[in-house]
Amino acid sequence: MGAAFFYHLTRQPLETTLPMLLGKARQAGWRVAVRGRDAGRLGWLDEKLWLGPEEGFLPHGLAGGPHDALQPILLTLDAAANDPACLMSIDGAEVAADEVQRMERVCILFDGNDESAVQTARGQWKTLTSAGCSAQYWSEESGRWEKKAEAGGA
């Protein structure tokens, strides 16, 4: 059974933090789905990932292509076709408790400078922990990532 890791972004933007987390997930050998709520935003992230440093190349694709099931990292609006071990939710994309329990890890990244995003993340924390999911809350407000809270699963 996996856990939900909440990442409260206050210093680094999504386009900096997401590649770092994707790299760690890939080092663990996991296929990853990045779930968003807006196709335009996923297209923008796709561009950012392709333009990243050569030594940190992250093989990925946008959902809807002929090879979705083979993608190591799939950017999607829906359920992922690449059988991911890790799901990364951005921009308040929904995550179900059964996904947390089924996967190795679910990462929920939210913009700490956007009150609406903070409220959405709080609601997700409450929903997932009430359903018995393990969860951790990580903050970068000190300048480095620190675990600030943890809730055990049922």
For the entire predicted model, the pTM comes to 0.94
Distance CA 97, CA 82 (A): 19
Structure tokens at 139: 């903050």
- Provide the residue ranges of all domains of the chain, joining segments of one domain with +: 3-151
What angle is formed at CA 87 by the lines to CA 84 and CA 92, rounded to 5 degrees? Answer: 150
**Does the domain spanning 3-151 belong to CATH 3.20.20.150?**
no
List the pLDDT tens digit at each of the 154 positions of the chain.
689 999 999 999 999 999 999 999 999 999 999 999 999 999 999 999 988 777 778 999 999 989 999 999 999 999 999 999 999 999 999 999 999 999 999 999 999 999 999 999 999 999 999 999 999 999 998 889 999 999 986 5
List the 32-35 sheet strands across, edge first: 61-62, 73-76, 32-35, 86-89, 105-111, 3-9, 134-139, 146-151
Distance CA 46, CA 48 (A): 6
